[in-house]
Structure 1
């Protein structure tokens, strides 16, 4: 892009990937702390998973101080990207972090929400946030509501260096497109932390999408599907002549319309007239997942219904063939923080003249 447009600039690159050896060292020193509902981890996890640390403003500010024109950063706090420069220039930290939180998703807090940007004017005792798209507007309510987005607590939002406290923030309409915000505070943390996020390869997946509108079938599925899974275990041993262990294969049915989205915590009983059925087959490799899904799809479309005589169709598939290879499947492995670190310790920076 620079060559095509004859651009010349100083480029800074900040990498957030974490070597396994560094993570194991932090683990051995007891400096990796779980966040709420984090999974239990073991030392070997770091060898098989890919982990990044989430940077705050400090690695970005180092390059800004040195006059770099373009910065490409790895994993960073969304708000850090907007807070780095005003924070560096001495703006009020509470207003700076609240401003950054407000605009991190563009015009997501506008009415109607859209993918355009917002303009913020940051002053000593308040900031004004304004929509840029014609036909859109901001209200005190829409701006205040955005502090709840992706946060369990709308008043306390954690960052690597501290916590944004919006408990006493006020929101007022300056005009139809502008909201004025005051009263935000930033509470510095006792120690600096960087969030760690990791993922590992689980296997490869093939998916099947189907549906059913037969009430008899819908009522029978909860007892038929466990029976089907037992059949599939035997079928896997037979088809692959013992080369594939059924325990390494996951065959999962999600019945949309029976509370699947809430995963068993549906507050009211549902009596669906029709169900959407998502079948996932996960295996160590894509070929095995696809092969197993072919007989899973066939058998699932002809489950034995005691109320009916003979062969009946139970699931309808919108595609033929119904098996769709989804590729590699990953799962999150970390929801932790690294403690006792300096703000730039976990990040590697390189620079170049473009």
Structure 2
């Protein structure tokens, strides 16, 4: 509910007149931010019970994909979660689809969105429908596929139509393409819209790799279109902006709430606004938590690029509604590639096998050895090298070292009682990788070092009864690039053997699963043709309106604030795709935030120093006022060399433990004194 000032001429005063509630377009429930992570069935049921009282089109939508967990899914065909987890979630979701007559849309099936995992989800649904308790089930399912042939990629590469997705991504080579077993393209909303238009009586869509907001945008756009054969960008810029912004928030489920939870509910309106509230009644959404969500795992918070253009949040605003748990968002826009005269691009993703890996783990406790641990491990690696001079295949061995010690604030070195190490060996064969790890273990256990007193062994080993751990094939991302499309290629067509158009990049197939009678349900047109609920004009003024300029709480104590951790509400790091790390510092007091902005405590110079990255290599760095936040994004590196996540010598795939230097950042004395005055 919002209010508008109105002039009362008889009294000469400005009165506040309630603004009528906007007309509902559709409603979306996301039970969890990732299929396979568990469905809170009781909470989801309660939400659908409430929403079903209105005739507004409603859908269940979940994302299932991410590159967060590394390259193995694409390279080896594994899934993000065990198959049993997907079956458990789908079993719960199918019951809700049947009971409440709502459509279910799932994107990026299995984690990577490959064709094989779309088919795997279909097979799981077949198994569920064949169970005696589901004998009456009869579901119309659309499967949308996103695999791209190597021939197409190689052709576009030779024509200069492929570039890295960000400056941290190296140029794509022909060899990379040939070594990549599966290549997927992140589809936009268009394939979902076209499939729904062709089959509006669908019950479920299982989508291949997709831009996270795509199914959300598609469901909203289809409801907003007067012409079922219309195009997405026939809609207004604010409409597509609202749908995309809503999808970016909802695809993470309840992470936008405080405290963060599992699911969320979106109400979308015809006037290009939308409301978000948490699924869990114990949580709430506030303007700060919703605005801050555009920071999460993104390279920058204001312009978010995706298939066919970018989401512009520079003029977005966020208002607390009078229920105290919902936030209304307005002002988001989507700038399409068509409007700027540029080509539509999709992101290609792929990964390859780089060798076989074996790990060796253990710890050192000798106080004589620990201070010289680095020179000792260098000697161990030299021993391994000498023992394998006869090996002709390529190999490498390196160390993860945990707990070496630290310098305290007075500069005194504090040695730990124990140092834990992991030797990581990679080779062209598992046999050689294991031989390397074994040699490293022997040298760790029995190698000499200056001042040695304990001659029976140096190394605590055999954790879990194992000396070496063979982990199989080692993978890394090989394709993370943008491919330019010709007009119409961003869409999809229904697959027909021997008769499929070469123009669209994507295709879909129709599947009938279950032996029961066809559902006579409330979403006979896919849940998309129910009459819209029109506001009846009954309104009430907002009792309490929480804005971003209102301090929520004091995040610092009465003690002097010496480090950034003392004054920030949140300090975190995360991967922003496989090649970037991004850092967020958020505040919950506007005066503290403004004081930090005025100081030089957070700047490109500081980020460059903390993370040993050249200023010119910083991808984005700046303040984001609407969320009272600072953000910096840098290339992911290891040993001074640009790398991608999840490959050889990876130790933090998510990048979620890289914030500590920021947390420990010492505040300048001038800022400390200014903050003391604020207390």
Query: Contact 1:12 / 1:350 at 8 angstroms: preserved in 2?
Result: yes
Aligned pair 1:329/2:460, yes or no?
Answer: no
1:121 is matched with: 267
Q: Of residues 346, 349, 353 in structure 1, which corresponds to 2:505?
A: 346
Query: Contact 2:257 / 2:284 at 8 angstroms: preserved in 1?
Result: yes
Distance in structure 2 (CA, Å) of the matches to 1:276 and 1:173: 49
1:265 is matched with: none
| Mapping 1:1-354, distance limit 5 Å | 1-4=128-131, 5-6=134-135, 7-36=137-166, 37-49=168-180, 50-67=182-199, 68-90=202-224, 92-114=239-261, 116-123=262-269, 124-174=271-321, 175-189=323-337, 190-237=342-389, 242=390, 244-245=391-392, 248-257=394-403, 271-273=414-416, 274-309=418-453, 311=455, 313-317=457-461, 318-341=463-486, 342-344=489-491, 345-354=504-513
Distance in structure 2 (CA, Å) of the matches to 1:214 and 1:86: 63
**Deviation string for 1:283-304 (max 9, x for gaps)?**
2233332333223222223332
More strand per residue: 1
For the aligned residues, what is the CA RMSD? 2.2
Q: 1:117 deviation in Å?
A: 1.5
**Deviation string for 1:294-351 (max 9, x for gaps)?**
2322222333221214636443233332322222211011221001342133223222
Distance in structure 2 (CA, Å) of the matches to 1:270 and 1:207: 30
Name the SS of the counterpart of 2:346 in structure 1. strand
Q: 1:140 deviation in Å?
A: 1.3
Distance in structure 2 (CA, Å) of the matches to 1:308 and 1:258: 19
Name the SS of the counterpart of 1:350 in structure 2. strand
**Which protein shows a greater Rg?**
2
2:103 is matched with: none
Uncovered stretches (5+) of structure 2, i.e. residues with no partner: 1-127, 225-234, 406-410, 492-503, 514-679
Name the SS of the counterpart of 1:281 in structure 2. strand
Provide closer, same or farther for how the CA distance between residues 301 and 3 of structure 1 changes in structure 2, counting only shifts above 3 A: same
Q: 1:102 deviation in Å?
A: 0.7
Structure 1: which 4+ aligned runs deviate by more than 6 Å? none
Distance in structure 1 (CA, Å) of the matches to 2:447 and 2:383: 11
Uncovered stretches (5+) of structure 1, i.e. residues with no partner: 260-267
Distance in structure 2 (CA, Å) of the matches to 1:272 and 1:322: 27
Deviates more, 1:271-280 or 1:126-135: 271-280
Deviates more, 1:144-153 or 1:125-134: 125-134
Distance in structure 1 (CA, Å) of the matches to 2:184 and 2:318: 35
Provide closer, same or farther for how the CA distance between residues 168 and 312 of structure 1 changes in structure 2, counting only shifts above 3 A: farther
Distance in structure 2 (CA, Å) of the matches to 1:144 and 1:312: 60
Point out which structure has higher relative CO (alpha carbons under 8 A, 6+ apart). Answer: 1
Q: 1:141 deviation in Å?
A: 1.2
Name the SS of the counterpart of 2:187 in structure 1. coil
Query: Contact 1:39 / 1:333 at 8 angstroms: preserved in 2?
Result: no
What number of residue pairs does the alignment pair up? Answer: 339
Distance in structure 1 (CA, Å) of the matches to 2:309 and 2:185: 16
Deviates more, 1:314-323 or 1:162-171: 314-323
Query: Contact 2:176 / 2:479 at 8 angstroms: preserved in 1?
Result: no
Distance in structure 2 (CA, Å) of the matches to 1:269 and 1:285: 45
**Deviation string for 1:73-97 (max 9, x for gaps)?**
2111111122111022337111111
Distance in structure 2 (CA, Å) of the matches to 1:349 and 1:10: 13
Provide closer, same or farther for how the CA distance between residues 45 and 129 of structure 1 changes in structure 2, counting only shifts above 3 A: same
TM-score, length of structure 1 as denominator length: 0.88
